[in-house]
Chain A
């Protein structure tokens, strides 16, 4: 039997990133993936003949640049195409377009509110500064503030020292971002409903919270952390779909000697006298290694693969309390023609209009989003949901047959805990709600649809294995962040089981196809500082 140093459970992007770093450091690494393809929620699949989709996650922005650099991802096939704009169609046949080009953006904002156009630059500078302050923390294994171990104390002191270097003003601004609602925060800056709606939408993604819920302001920062090619605020699309991110990470891992096995579903982690020393596959096969790393979420890892009997009671209690509450779904459409948004002025064929190469956001106002949340809060699908849409075939024509298009619609809210539970009928009803709402803005949509794939949080859980379909492996709320993620005292990728580590988004700094958890975990396993 071939002997490995490290077995990584789950070939999602974090598992692959972790594998690549460990292999690069000379460890013999084996990645076990349950599905027939790696990538977890970052996969591209030809769902309908000729039509390829980023089935689940669909944009790239937060992928850490050091990972792209250190693992030479472009050499392994990663090519990111920028999304240059966001279009917010409005009910009164108007729209708000935001552009990555500064002057164009300012002119468009001024059309809605000259005051907002003025405030926008100052707002951007502040958030940019905050994002810079936070960025070093993304690559840090959070110390345990209650520990007395010298190394933790040292790291704690180092962290304290870092915070002391920040001007008090920035620190306070950061605290506001962490604790305020996106709506309250934006109200301090802007007056245009369309702008506030679209900006606050980034705060609610992946959580069962509304734009008026405290804690949602923080995620505004993420938009300013995306830094493709060193340009702030850039979002991009990976050529070939988000599966290309996973493919590049996998190729990098393999190039460093890691072995990847697909169709290998881990049933349980083998323990003896409190130490992890291998895994059992569903086929019954046993594989051994001195280090086991789980990329699965905390619930699956600890309550599933390990089993609560082997774990301390307090820890089990923390993992049980850890909140998932998936709230988002996807609708993927194969289209015979592009949707025509009636709010846009008629100027030539849509496929030549650059706005279709950007994102489209159905978020006309904060109240619109809040009402969508009100439905979900009590266990219903939003009657008029928030949507974040891209048309990948406009950026990468290979995603669809010539002249045809694919459309990726991220939808919120579709609560995992739906009253009465999810069924095929409810799934289709959810798809209908999405298409009906969107068709109000683009009436030709319905007849353009050739095929439709609807994905609910229950589907995400079943197919990808993310508990309750939470796309971040657990909500990114204040009480589940930094040294509390996923459980107090266990935020440094270690677990109460010797030899067992975690590397998924359920650890700091969390989801968003950042890859930071995988990289940080690898560094922790290697005993290095990131």
Chain B
């Protein structure tokens, strides 16, 4: 029985480990970071099936988005398209009429992404891919070609007039990316968030996937920090740990960021300098902080991004290394409190390091902006991008490990040479969020990688 080591952690690593184990391999998972308890993102049926999980519990907040209107009221987007339209209608009758049409057009496009996400990325000149795109029909194809490279702002301006609606959706479209809604390719980002959700829902459901995965038998779990992947004769032969132990393996699968795996863990000399140079240029800039508030009473979701210009101006600050003066805040209920996604809070600040004073100032800023809309805040904690790096291994605090931009998506993810999960070192594979399809689709990169290994 061949021995496989999966290193890193997270849902992708767990899925890869279990798919390999179910095929008969002896698999050890070396967890560098505690896996998150709530899987963030859509769990494709195919992925859940591949690890034998059939009873996932989904958390589907309804409304899934609540935006504050200038008059103090709120605009709610529900899982029910008609109900959302009714709510939008309070701000704009025209937009209310557009909403169902927008939802069905976006659903058709997300459908194509969903199919692409559960397999290795297509190649640009692949006939199979070309035929699949053609199968969308003229309308679908034209939508796809126009929409993918579009700025989200342009897409939303094409459809809607209500600033509150456009601002809130625009903020979602730039989530975790160092770009503003006027940047090309952010419409793809919005579709990415839509994948796996019914028409009219642009936020993936939460689930107990990670929890269930951790409880599955068949894989040996071990906490360990990797120091090196030992290469012998061009093959991954073992992994050596921080404490000096060396574990032999025929197969090493890493969910750590590609640059970490290939540059930090591999002795220099095994890889082409062109590749190491390219790896250093994979963009993974963390742009958001997380603030957790403990609340006296539970609360509904809330998004503060009143217009596309607001989101764009928030981004302007980040371009020059500043925390947004007027950030985009996205609050979701979590346990007894709420978690706030605070964007933009860049990893590298022009003014210097992330200090505790800066973290506290950021939390104050969030609390002040949200206070009018929340129950009493009884406690709080902040994770700035460097904290996300230390706690979860996200390079520069970027949860996608490689920003999901057009030039780092599909067959370009994270680099064209690595897009098929294989590395130039035989027996060493990549399965983390930096791989196609990336974070937001729970376990799909791990599943695709494991399948590629089993086919090889």
Name A residues whose Cβ lies closer than 8 Å to a Cβ of B: 145-146, 160, 163-164, 168-169, 171-172, 175-176, 179-181, 184, 187-188, 212-215, 321, 323, 367, 370, 374, 377-378, 477-479, 483-484, 488-489
Task: Name the residue of chain B whose CB is nearest to the CB of A189.
Answer: B281
Interface residue? B358 (CB, 8 A) = no
Q: If the complex has contacts A172-B416, A179-B149, are A145 and B407 also in contact, measured as CB distance less than 8 A?
A: no
Interface residue? B352 (CB, 8 A) = no
What are 26 A-B pairs at a CB distance below 8 A?
A: A145-B133, A145-B145, A146-B138, A160-B130, A169-B416, A171-B124, A175-B407, A176-B412, A179-B184, A180-B407, A184-B283, A212-B183, A213-B184, A214-B184, A214-B405, A215-B149, A215-B184, A215-B185, A377-B312, A378-B309, A378-B313, A477-B149, A479-B146, A479-B154, A479-B184, A484-B145
How far apart are the CA atoms of A477 and B153 in the complex, in Å? 14
B405 & A489 in contact (Cβ 8 Å cutoff):
no
CB of B390, distance to nearest CB on chain A (Å): 26
**Interface of chain B residues 116 through 140 with chain A (CB within 8 A):** 123-125, 127, 130, 133-134, 137-138
B303-315 toward A: CB 8 Å interface, digit per residue (1/0)? 0000001001100
CB of B359, distance to nearest CB on chain A (Å): 27
Instruction: Please give me the 10 A-B residue pairs with the lowest Cβ-Cβ distance, nearest first.
Output: A478-B149, A179-B406, A172-B416, A146-B138, A214-B184, A488-B142, A179-B407, A215-B184, A188-B281, A180-B407
B142 & A163 in contact (Cβ 8 Å cutoff):
no
How far apart are the CA atoms of A484 and B145 in the complex, in Å? 8
Total A-B Cβ pairs within 8 A:
85
For B133, list chain A residues within 8 Å (CB). Answer: 145
**Interface of chain B residues 409 through 429 with chain A (CB within 8 A):** 411-412, 416
Size bin of chain B's contact surface: 35 or more
A321 & B183 in contact (Cβ 8 Å cutoff):
no
For B179, list chain A residues within 8 Å (CB). Answer: 214
B312 & A163 in contact (Cβ 8 Å cutoff):
no
Name B residues whose Cβ lies closer than 8 Å to a Cβ of A: 123-125, 127, 130, 133-134, 137-138, 141-142, 145-147, 149-150, 154, 158, 179, 182-185, 281, 283, 309, 312-313, 316, 319-320, 405-407, 411-412, 416
* 11 further A-B pairs in the complex, CB-CB below 8 A; given A146-B134, A180-B407: A168-B123, A179-B184, A179-B405, A213-B184, A214-B183, A477-B184, A478-B184, A479-B146, A479-B184, A483-B145, A484-B145
For A164, list chain B residues within 8 Å (CB). Answer: 125
How far apart are the CA atoms of A321 and B320 in the complex, in Å? 32
Chain B CB within 10 Å, residue with most, of A163, A175, A378: A175
A146 & B309 in contact (Cβ 8 Å cutoff):
no
Task: Name the residue of chain A whose CB is nearest to the CB of B313.
Answer: A378
For B138, list chain A residues within 8 Å (CB). Answer: 146, 489
Q: If the complex has contacts A168-B416, A172-B416, A477-B184, are A321 and B158 also in contact, measured as CB distance less than 8 A?
A: yes
User: What is the predominant secondary structure among interface residues of chain A facing chain B?
Assistant: helix
How far apart are the CA atoms of A145 and B131 in the complex, in Å? 10
CB of A231, distance to nearest CB on chain B (Å): 29
A146 & B130 in contact (Cβ 8 Å cutoff):
no
CB of B281, distance to nearest CB on chain A (Å): 5
For A163, list chain B residues within 8 Å (CB). Answer: 124-125
Task: Name the residue of chain B whose CB is nearest to the CB of A171.
Answer: B124
For B405, list chain A residues within 8 Å (CB). Answer: 179-180, 214
A212 & B319 in contact (Cβ 8 Å cutoff):
yes
CB of A72, distance to nearest CB on chain B (Å): 39
For B150, list chain A residues within 8 Å (CB). Answer: 479
Chain B CB within 10 Å, residue with most, of A145, A188, A214, A378: A214
For B123, list chain A residues within 8 Å (CB). Answer: 168
Q: If the complex has contacts A370-B319, A479-B150, A484-B145, are A214 and B185 also in contact, measured as CB distance less than 8 A?
A: yes
For A370, list chain B residues within 8 Å (CB). Answer: 319
For B407, list chain A residues within 8 Å (CB). Answer: 175-176, 179-180, 214
For B313, list chain A residues within 8 Å (CB). Answer: 378
For B141, list chain A residues within 8 Å (CB). Answer: 145-146
Q: If the complex has contacts A163-B124, A214-B179, A214-B184, are A479 and B145 also in contact, measured as CB distance less than 8 A?
A: yes
